[in-house]
Amino acid sequence: MTKPLLAGAALAVLVVVAPALAQSVVKPRMPKDASWVIRLPERENIVYQGVANFDRVSAGERPMSYGPGPVIALLMLAGHAAYVDTTLTQQRTAAQERADRVLLPYRAVLDRYTQRELMQRALSKSQMSGGRGLMQAGENAGADWLVEAGVVMMMTQDEKALLLDAAFAIRSSEARGQPVYERVIRVVSRPRDEDDPRIFWSRSEGERLKEESAHLVAHALDLALRDANGTLGIATAGHRTYRYREGGAEKMERAELMADLCDRIVVKNLRDWLMSIPLRPREGSKQECAAAERPAS
């Protein structure tokens, strides 16, 4: 069931980040050599959902103001339900509950996977310097910059890929009020090509599922920090349509290119989210691609 999952610290951070969905705000940048800590949310459980198909969800003649996705579902429950009517919300909830059934074989593992373990693994995989560890909710960050993240992990219905929606808020070491950086980042894993992906994810008591989740969070964290300190890049080529694989399905996104990571690109879409999406392998050094692309393949 999704309703107990749609609350807690992930929701709180997403509420903070909500204004950034509409537009980017020019604020002081985080220094490249800054030291930073990740504040753990109060909620211990990680939000895992199935990727839902909302194509059949409608609200009469009224178009949807928000695109589909669990981050949007969280935002609607956080007081933004004025954008949709009650019928649409109920339909979306029912569709999400059906989609969540894909996770039933993994629930025993996921229910024991905590925010602390996920973030500790992600921190160890991060390629960014300056990380000084984790801190509890409400703890003082001292002279370090504060990184807050609300994460929602998703599995495609064919169980071939994971998706991450992460809402980041980064606060200055001097001013703990308004974040200097706010962004939602989506990371799509490379599809698994195993005949039975369920066997793959379930091996060693779900270790591969935990590791892939941590790789995605680490990659999103690195993108957020690079975006905040100005080293990610600036979109200059204009909008175009990018095609990519989401599990076994082909997806399209209208976006601007921000960074090319060999077998993966980072784009900024029309909702002002960053997206890291896998591409087909290109000719060249597999070692170079492996070094450029952090999520597990």
Q: Is the pTM of this model over 0.75?
A: yes
Q: Pull the structure tokens for residue 25.
A: 């705000």
| Phi, psi angle pair for 176, to nearest 5° | -90, 10
Q: How far apart are CA 14 and CA 47, in angstroms?
A: 13
In this model, does residue 24 exceed pLDDT 80?
no
Half-sphere exposure of 99 (CA within 13 A, CB side): 23
Q: What pLDDT score does 87 carry?
A: 54
To which residue do tokens 């008591």 refer? 205
To which residue do tokens 């692309």 refer? 293
User: What are the DSSP E strand ranges found in 136-238?
Assistant: 145-155, 162-171, 181-188
Model confidence at 44, pLDDT cuts 50, 70, 90, reads confident
In this model, does residue 246 exceed pLDDT 90?
yes
Q: Provide the mean pLDDT of the chain.
A: 79
SS3 36: strand
Other beta carbons less than 10 A from residue 180's beta carbon: 18
Model confidence at 95, pLDDT cuts 50, 70, 90, reads confident
In this model, does residue 49 exceed pLDDT 70?
yes
Q: What pLDDT score does 58 carry?
A: 55
Q: How far apart are CA 286 and CA 151, in angstroms?
A: 30
Model confidence at 137, pLDDT cuts 50, 70, 90, reads confident
- The distance of Cα 15 from the centroid of its chain, to the nearest Å, equals 15
- The better pLDDT of the pair 177, 281 is held by 177
Give the Å distances, CA to CA, from 37 to 99, 149, 173.
Answer: 34, 11, 10
